[in-house]
Amino acid sequence: MKVNDPNMKTAYIAVGSNLGDKLNNCFKAIGLADKISGCSVEKKSGFYRTEPVGVEDQDWYVNAVISMRTGIQARDLLKGLLAIEAGMGRIRDKKWESRPIDLDILLFGQDVINEKDLTIPHPRMHLRRFVLVPMAELVPDLIHPVLNETMAELLDGISGEGQMVIPLVEV
């Protein structure tokens, strides 16, 4: 499958970790995502140290966003990402617990999918600075397919209170 195939879509994936060597966990997951059959990582945002949202008593995260060209279905991409998480030691016991890696499909082309275990666009992406800061870095003018606002506009519209995002300097 050629990366320039017109049938391919661009997917945006949130990458995060708050256990172990967080930055290296993110790099490893991005490398593994690039090996999913029918997919190719195109770009990645910078990495950010981010305050946990919705929970207390957790270490801060390292977060980024990657864009991927893909010719596979969203459900197959999800299966590949879940396999990476499991292979890196993620156990899904309860919502929003600490994790060595978290990979979420944010957008899949302009598709809108609303199924039991797959919702695209990600239903909370427009509320989270740790998603919108790297999204606005990568594609500030990309329009959210449901909310009809750009990533930059969405970022401008949310409060930073309780959602600190600090750029990491890569060495």
Which ranges of the chain would DSSP assign to H, the alpha helix?
22-33, 74-87, 129-138, 151-156
> Is position 17 within any domain?
yes
Q: How many separate domains does the chain show?
A: 1
Residue 68: inside a domain = yes
Strand partners, 136: none
Task: Give the domain extent around 151.
Answer: 9-167
The string of pLDDT tens digits covering residues 21-44 is 999 999 999 999 999 999 999 999
Among 5, 49, 90, 117, the active-site one is 90
Report if residue 155 sits inside a domain.
Answer: yes
| 99 assigned to active site | yes
**Whether 56 contacts 165, CB under 8 Å:** no
**Catalytic choice (102, 111, 117, 156):** 102
- 104 catalytically annotated: yes
Q: Quick check: is 120 in a domain?
A: yes
Cis peptide before 123 (omega within 30 of 0): no
Identify the CATH number of the domain in which residue 132 sits. Answer: 3.30.70.560
Judge whether 4 lies within some domain.
no
Domain-located, residue 30: yes
**Which 8-state DSSP code applies to residue 143?**
B
pLDDT at 55: 74
List per-residue pLDDT tens for the chain, 171 residues long.
444 567 799 999 999 999 999 999 999 999 999 999 999 999 999 999 999 887 777 889 999 999 999 999 999 999 999 999 999 987 777 666 778 999 999 999 999 999 989 999 999 999 999 999 999 999 999 999 999 999 999 999 998 888 999 999 764
Residue 3 within a domain:
no
